[in-house]
Amino acid sequence: MARYIFITGGVVSSLGKGLASAALGALLQARGFTVRLRKLDPYLNVDPGTMSPFEHGEVFVTDDGAETDLDLGHYERFTGVSARRTDTISAGRIYSNVLERERRGEYLGKTIQVIPHVTNEIKDFLAIGEDEVDFMLCEIGGTVGDIEGLPFFEAIRQFSQDRPRGQCILMHLTLMPYLAASGELKTKPTQHSVKELRSIGLQPDVLVCRSEHPIPDRERAKIALFCNVRPDSVIPAYDLKSIYEAPLAYHRVGLDRAVLDAFQISPAPRPDLRRWEDVNDRLTNAEGEVRVAIVGKYTQLEDAYKSISEALTHGGMANRVRVRPEWIDAEKLEQPDGVHLLDGFHGILVPGGFGERGTEGMVAAAKYARERKVPYLGICLGMQMAVIEAARNLAGITDAGSEEFDHEAGEERFTPVVYHLKEWVQGNSRVERKITDDKGGTMRLGSYTATLAPGSKISEVYDGASEMEDRHRHRYEIDARYREPLEACGLWFSGMSPDGRLPEVVEVKDHPWFIGVQSHPELKSKPFAPAPLFRDFVRAAKDLERMV
Ligand code: GLN
């Protein structure tokens, strides 16, 4: 049976709970334990799938097709453990499950209440798969004291009581603000936040205190005293240059030791930190720099493309170069001479996105990259726009476009080379979708296999493999009927679904490196195992940088 570590936050949001959880997961793995990480989000959306990237950052997709919080991406990047649908839940989903049960009469006419019905639903969720790992790390979103969070805090209190003594611990993150005027670090917000926790029956075992300044022993002792935590379980967390320093940094200040100590696991197995030492060595000893333009829609908010920027960092680490990404608003490329914004970059990346706004700028970026032989990586929408560009400018289908934009506008303006496919095959089963389905249920989601053409660049990227597997999240597909005319003009459909119906990869034949993929390879990239497409895209950019 797994031991449970609950991770909560207080004082302010954005303290880096997700990162602390992920780093702790990595450190427990380094000591030979198996882990799984989970996120419980108190908001009322049923899942983040329909939330704007401006609201909640990127939607992270799991192999089994769940649309989740971007924290699950951090968990995977640090532990390499593939997240599952059952690793994330929101209050919206919990309430919707409870209400569905009520409608089915499963509560036998009882009055439905937060305690026990909602809390039981949360506890059932926590218990899923508890026999599979040594440690289950469960992060509660939000901040202690939030109204929506209460049922979750109550559920973890009950859960810890239901279990044998010593099976569950609580790690709480807080902030220690620094008052420049008096030159002091203040412990009071931390004290208040722990008081808030204790008022709902929860006592932290480990306190992680974010601080911009070194925390003196005196302040540590004070926190320990007032918060009823052992002094060596008050762990300072300082700002880092890179998130990938977190496992080693947390190890140095004793986080994993404090956690194992709280479970009374002794002697603690010795950690093997070589993976993270190598990651840090690659990060700090990069030689040279490549500049990559990311031409997208949600460029004001970096979190909207979190996995993309991380995967680029990983690609840089694999090639021992620093990647400097620059976010370019696609609409700017639609201005006269706008494409000159792309001058001087060593690579152009067009990421995923929804809706028509900015897409003409993306088409312009694909044209620029194709004609000037700049390395191009098109991801999902970025592949679709590359196909539209080739259809217009190589195959003479001058009004080529995507049905997505016609649906949005409510009129037919384009020849849809990207269209809405109603059914396809996943594994051995047929999947159907209607444009009228709920917004949450109309996408091709999760991991799919693509068959790669021998001798293609994409099969070279995957070390000569005949297949690749990556995660999808999109409603529209390239229409395979355009394969022949486009291949006749040099756009190779070098990856297809195993049944040959769905184009998965395109590449420009007469080009040093121009690949579009329908999937999202960035989602599986890790600092210690970079996504092959990002690794090779950065390598191509590095080659161009050396040439000029
Ligand atoms: N909007 C496009 C589609 O739904 C692309 C989606 C994406 O880039 N993830 O097919």
CB of 256 sitting under 6 A from ligand 1: no
What is the residue with the minimal CA distance to atom 1 of ligand 1? 354
Q: What is the mean pLDDT of the chain?
A: 92
The stretch 252-260 carries a mean pLDDT of 97
What is the separation of C-alpha 98 from the centre of its chain, rounded to a whole number of angstroms? 28
75 has pLDDT over 60? yes
301 has pLDDT over 80? no
CB of 473 sitting under 6 A from ligand 1: yes
Closest CA to 251 of 221, 267, 274: 274
CB of 407 sitting under 6 A from ligand 1: no
CB of 366 sitting under 6 A from ligand 1: no
Closest CA to 26 of 17, 16, 37: 37
Q: Which residues contact 105 (CB under 8 A, 6 or more apart)?
A: none
Question: Model confidence at 438, in pLDDT bands (50, 70, 90)?
Answer: very low
CB of 48 sitting under 6 A from ligand 1: no
Report the 10 Å Cβ neighbour count for 106. 10
Q: How far is the CA of 132 from the centre of ligand 1 (A)?
A: 35
CB 503 within 8 A of CB 483: yes
Beta strands in 374-456 (DSSP E): 376-379, 400-402, 415-419, 423-426, 429-432, 444-452
Which residues are known to be catalytic? 380, 520, 522
**What residues pair up with 362 in beta bridges, in sequence order?**
none
Q: Which residues contact 243 (CB under 8 A, 6 or more apart)?
A: 19, 74
Among the listed ranges 338-347, 417-426, 468-477, 532-541, which one has the minimum average pLDDT value?
417-426
What six digits make up the tokens of 25? 């997961």
Write out pLDDT tens, residues 139-152.
999 999 899 999 99
Instruction: Give the C-alpha separation, 335 to 314, whole Å.
Output: 33
Instruction: Give the C-alpha separation, 375 to 325, whole Å.
Output: 14
CB of 380 sitting under 6 A from ligand 1: yes
Q: How far is the CA of 354 from the centre of ligand 1 (A)?
A: 5
CATH 3.40.50.300 boundaries in the chain: 3-279
CB of 516 sitting under 6 A from ligand 1: no
Write out pLDDT tens, residues 329-379.
999 999 999 999 999 999 999 999 999 999 999 999 999 999 999 999 999
CB of 444 sitting under 6 A from ligand 1: no
- Ligand 1 probe mutation, 58, 308, 359, 381, most atoms within 8 A of CB: 381
- Ligand 1 probe mutation, 294, 350, 379, 473, most atoms within 8 A of CB: 473
The pLDDT value recorded for residue 544 is 85
Among the listed ranges 171-180, 217-226, 404-413, which one has the minimum average pLDDT value?
404-413
487 has pLDDT over 60? yes
> Each residue of 37-66: b (16+ CB within 10 Å) or e?
bbbbbbbebbbbbeeebeebbbbbbbbebb
Question: Model confidence at 436, in pLDDT bands (50, 70, 90)?
Answer: low
The pLDDT value recorded for residue 51 is 73
What six digits make up the tokens of 527? 């600092």
What is the residue with the minimal CA distance to atom 7 of ligand 1? 352
Closest CA to 400 of 384, 421, 380, 411: 384
What number does the ligand 1 atom closest to the CA of 351 have?
8
**Domain 286-547 CATH class label:** alpha beta
441 has pLDDT over 60? no
What number does the ligand 1 atom closest to the CA of 418 have?
10
The stretch 276-298 carries a mean pLDDT of 93
Residue recorded with tokens 């991801």:
379
Which CATH superfamily does the domain covering 3-279 fall into? P-loop containing nucleotide triphosphate hydrolases (3.40.50.300)
Q: What share of the chain is helix, strand, coil (3-state, %, to 5)?
A: 40, 25, 35
What is the separation of C-alpha 167 from the centre of its chain, rounded to a whole number of angstroms? 29
What is the residue with the minimal CA distance to atom 8 of ligand 1? 352
The pLDDT value recorded for residue 440 is 47
Q: What is the DSSP string of 47-64?
A: -GGGS-HHHHSPPEE-TT
DSSP state of 345: -
Q: What does the CA dihedral 518, 519, 520, 525 come to, rounded to 10 degrees?
A: -130
**Between the CA of residue 435 and those of 405, 422, 431, what are the distances in Å?**
13, 8, 14
Q: What is the DSSP string of 270-297?
A: PP--HHHHHHHHHHHT--SEEEEEEEES
Q: Which amino acid, 424?
A: W
CB 518 within 8 A of CB 474: yes
What is the separation of C-alpha 78 from the centre of its chain, rounded to a whole number of angstroms? 11
DSSP state of 526: B
Residue recorded with tokens 């620094």:
178
Question: Model confidence at 424, in pLDDT bands (50, 70, 90)?
Answer: low
The pLDDT value recorded for residue 300 is 65
What is the residue with the minimal CA distance to atom 5 of ligand 1? 381
Closest CA to 349 of 318, 388, 385: 385
DSSP H/E element including 508 = strand 503-508
Instruction: Give the C-alpha separation, 401 to 362, whole Å.
Output: 12
Q: How far is the CA of 341 from the centre of ligand 1 (A)?
A: 25
Q: How far is the CA of 90 from the centre of ligand 1 (A)?
A: 24
Instruction: Give the C-alpha separation, 46 to 51, whole Å.
Output: 10
The stretch 396-401 carries a mean pLDDT of 94
Question: Model confidence at 260, in pLDDT bands (50, 70, 90)?
Answer: very high
The stretch 35-51 carries a mean pLDDT of 87
What six digits make up the tokens of 89? 């839940």
CB 14 within 8 A of CB 70: no
CATH 3.40.50.880 boundaries in the chain: 286-547
CB of 297 sitting under 6 A from ligand 1: no
The pLDDT value recorded for residue 183 is 87
The stretch 193-209 carries a mean pLDDT of 96
